[in-house]
């Protein structure tokens, strides 16, 4: 889903985007509700084992609503009149909507990854307070320890975090890869080889793959929470940020 917006006035691309995000939202709700039902002792929202999904839901909703608002209102030239004092021509509107789409995509990616990172650090700290320097080491070390050494989850399932981690790191450089040792990185995931080439712009960060990777992270996190070692942790496993998110 590349959002080319070739015909601004008739394009249904943002309607398609709304429907695609809505699909991911429903998956998050499904997992969240099943965990609340299956583990009633976990304090709803404040225990990280359910709180992760509450936070993802809260992050996906604004992106979904924005896509719908764009589709219903912002693709109409007249909508811009009270905003900038004149209607926008097709080319100008296309630029504004593409900029907005990029803003939403980067913001969602950053928020989702931050939620996963914070939650997995909390889980590792609860499981083994000494591991990875109290779960303060670089995140790859943390999730390799948690998902691999501690929970023994399949490496193929964990690789989605390698994709998202490398992609999130490009946010700091406008979508360009800069490795601290000037190295190219390759990640094999679901039969696809993703190339993160040093000093090159990432070319595969469209909406559809990002939302698919988020879907996969939701499924991975569901596995994590239901693992006996995590499900059996003393109640609650508090997410300190739950009170302010």
3-class secondary-structure state, position 180: coil
Closest CA relative to residue 233, chosen from 107, 122, 133, 148:
122
The rounded distance, in Å, linking the Cα atoms of 216 and 222 is 10
State the pairing for strand pair 185-189/192-196.
antiparallel
Computed on alpha carbons and rounded to an integer, the radius of gyration of the chain in Å comes to 20
| Per-domain residue ranges of the chain | 13-243
The rounded distance, in Å, linking the Cα atoms of 231 and 238 is 13
Cβ contact 178:73 at 8 Å: no
The rounded distance, in Å, linking the Cα atoms of 16 and 3 is 10
Per-residue pLDDT 10s for the chain (245 aa) are 555 544 444 457 899 999 999 999 999 999 999 999 999 999 997 999 999 999 999 999 999 999 999 999 998 888 888 888 887 888 888 889 989 998 999 899 999 999 999 999 999 999 999 999 999 999 999 999 999 999 999 998 899 999 998 888 877 766 666 666 657 687 788 888 888 777 677 777 789 999 999 999 999 999 999 999 999 999 999 998 876 54
Listed in sequence order, the DSSP H helices in 39-74 are: 48-69
pTM: 0.89
């Amino acid at each position: 889903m590349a959002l080319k917006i070739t015909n601004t006035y008739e394009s249904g691309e943002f309607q398609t985007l709304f429907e695609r995000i809505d699909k991911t939202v429903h998956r998050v709700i499904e997992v969240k509700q099943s965990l609340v039902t299956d583990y009633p002792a976990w304090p709803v929202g404040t225990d990280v084992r359910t709180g992760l999904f509450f936070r993802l839901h809260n992050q996906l909703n604004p992106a979904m609503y924005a896509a719908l608002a764009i589709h219903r209102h912002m693709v109409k030239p007249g909508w811009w009149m009270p905003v900038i004092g004149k209607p926008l021509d097709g080319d100008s509107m296309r630029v504004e909507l593409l900029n907005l789409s990029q803003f939403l995509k980067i913001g969602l990616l950053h928020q989702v990854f931050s939620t996963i990172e914070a939650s997995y650090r909390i889980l590792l700290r609860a499981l083994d307070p000494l591991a990875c320097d109290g779960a303060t080491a670089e995140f790859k070390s943390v999730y390799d320890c948690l998902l691999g050494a501690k929970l023994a989850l399949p490496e193929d399932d964990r690789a989605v975090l390698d994709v998202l981690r490398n992609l999130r790191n490009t946010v700091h450089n406008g979508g360009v890869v800069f490795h601290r040792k000037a190295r190219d990185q390759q990640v094999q995931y679901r039969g696809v080889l993703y190339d993160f080439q040093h000093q090159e712009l990432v070319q595969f960060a469209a909406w559809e793959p990002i939302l698919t990777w988020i879907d996969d992270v939701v499924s991975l996190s569901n596995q994590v929470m239901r693992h006996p070692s995590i499900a059996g942790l003393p109640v609650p496993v508090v997410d300190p940020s739950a009170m302010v998110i």
